[in-house]
Amino acid sequence: MKKFITILLTCFVLCSAGAVHAQQVGLTLTPQGTQPYATGSSFQVFANYNYSNITGNIEVVITYNPTIVSFCGSASFPYPYVSNSVNATTQTITYTFPAASGNNQTGVIMMCFSFLCPQTCTGTAINSAINGSINAPSSTVLANAPPAGISSIVNNTWTGQHTFFSFIQSSYEVTFRIIVYGSSCFQINNPSFVVNPSIGTLVSASNATISGNTITPVISSFYTGSYVYYYTVKIPCSTPAGTVITSSAVLKGTNCGVTNSTIYTLPSASYTLPVVVASNPSAQLSAVSNSGYLYNTITNNGNTPLNLQLTNTYPAVKVNSVYFSSTTQSAGVTANVTYYDCSNSPSTTYPLLPGSSNNTPPLYVTKATIAINNLLPGHTAYFYTFYDLSNSCSGVPNQSTYTFISNLTFDCNTSNLSQVCYNCTPGTGTIHDTAVYVLKPNINCISQSALTGCFNPGDTVNICLRFMNTGETALNSGALQYNLPAFLTFLPGSETFTGFSSNPVYQSSTNAKWNLPTIPTGNATYDICFKATVNSNAPYGSYNMNYNVTGTNYSSGNLGCPYVINICALPRAEVEKAVKGNLDATFSSTGNGYPGSTAIYQITVKNTGNTPIGNIVLIDRMPFVGDATIMTCTPRNSQFSLFPTAALTIPGATVTYSSVSNIATGWPTVATSCANTGSFSGSFQPNSIKISLTNPIPAGGSYTFTFPVTVPTNATPGQQACNTIGMICDLVANNNSTSVMNPVESNNVCLTVQQQEVPPPPCTPCKEVLKSVSASLGQLQADTTHQVQQATIQVTTSKALQELRISVADINYTWESKGCSNCNTPVIGRGCLFPQSSTQTIGGLVWDNYANATLPPNASGNQCLEELVWKLGTQAPAGSYQIPVLLTLPVPTVPECCRLRINAICFRVTFKDKDCNTCDTVICVSTNTTPGTGGTDSVDCCKESHFTGNSISWKTIATPIPNPDISLSQASKAIIVPSLANSMQITCNETYTLYVNTSYVFNSTFQCASPDCTKKIVLRITGPGGNFIQTLTGSGIPYTFTQAGTYYITYAAYCGDKLCATCRYTLNIKKKGLTAEPATPIGTTIYK
CA distance 134 to 591: 36
Q: Looking at 399-403, 515-519, 1080-1084, which range is the least confident one?
A: 1080-1084
Strands (DSSP E) along 608-652, which ranges? 613-621
674-707 tens-digit pLDDT: 999 999 999 999 999 999 999 999 988 999 999 9
Structural domains in the chain, CATH included, are 16-153 (2.60.40.1510), 159-272 (2.60.40.1290), 283-438 (2.60.40), 455-567 (2.60.40.740), 766-929 (2.60.40), 946-1070 (2.60.40.10)
* pLDDT higher than 50, residue 533: yes
Provide the pLDDT confidence category of residue 453 given band limits of 50, 70 and 90: confident
Determine the pLDDT at residue 818. 53
- Of 53, 263, 269, the C-alpha closest to 175 is 269
Distance of CA 12 to the CA centre of its chain: 38
Torsion of CA 525, 531, 535, 536, to 10 degrees: 130
d(CA 627, CA 620): 11
Instruction: Tell me the percentage of the chain whose pLDDT exceeds 70.
Output: 86
29 bridge partner residues: 47
- Kindly report, residue by residue over 112-123, the tens digit of the pLDDT: 999 998 899 998
Statement: residue 894 has pLDDT above 60: no
pLDDT greater than 50 at residue 19:
no
Confidence of residue 979 (pLDDT cuts 50, 70, 90): very low
Per-residue pLDDT reduced to its tens digit, 586-629: 999 999 999 999 999 999 999 988 889 999 999 999 999 999 99
SS3 427: coil
Beta strands in 841-878 (DSSP E): 841-842, 845-847, 867-872
* Residue 274: pLDDT over 90: no
Q: Is 17 helix (H, G, I), strand (E, B) or coil?
A: helix
* pLDDT mean over 837-854: 85
Region 1039-1054 average pLDDT? 86
Lowest mean pLDDT among 262-276, 343-357, 924-938: 924-938
Q: What pLDDT, on the 0 to 100 scale, is given for residue 915?
A: 78
The mean pLDDT of 348-373, rounded to a whole number, is: 89
Cβ neighbours of residue 24 closer than 8 Å, sequence gap 6 or more? 50, 51, 52, 53, 103, 141, 631, 632
- CA separation for the pair 402, 471 (Å, rounded): 14
Rounded Cα distance, 85 and 131, in Å: 15
> For residues 644 and 599, what is the distance between their CA atoms, to the nearest angstrom?
9
d(CA 162, CA 178): 5
Name the nearest CA neighbour of 777 among 1082, 1059, 1081.
1059
Give the model confidence (pLDDT) of 638-687 as tens digits.
999 999 999 999 999 999 999 999 999 999 999 999 999 999 999 999 99
Question: In whole angstroms, what is the distance from residue 1001 CA to residue 957 CA?
Answer: 15
Q: What percent of the chain has pLDDT over 90?
A: 45
For residue range 186-203, what is the model confidence (pLDDT) as tens digits? 999 999 999 999 999 999
More confident residue, 268 or 989: 268
Choice between 960 and 694, residue whose per-residue pLDDT is larger = 694
Please tell me the predicted confidence (pLDDT) of residue 608. 86
For residue 896, name the pLDDT band (cuts at 50, 70, 90): low
The per-residue pLDDT for range 1058-1080, each reduced to its tens digit, is: 777 888 888 888 876 433 333 33
Given this model, what pLDDT does residue 970 score? Answer: 28
Q: Residue 874's pLDDT is what?
A: 87
In which band, very low, low, confident or very high, does the pLDDT at 815 lie, cut at 50, 70 and 90? Answer: low
Q: How far is CA 780 from CA 787, 812, 823, 830, 935, in A?
A: 7, 14, 19, 16, 8
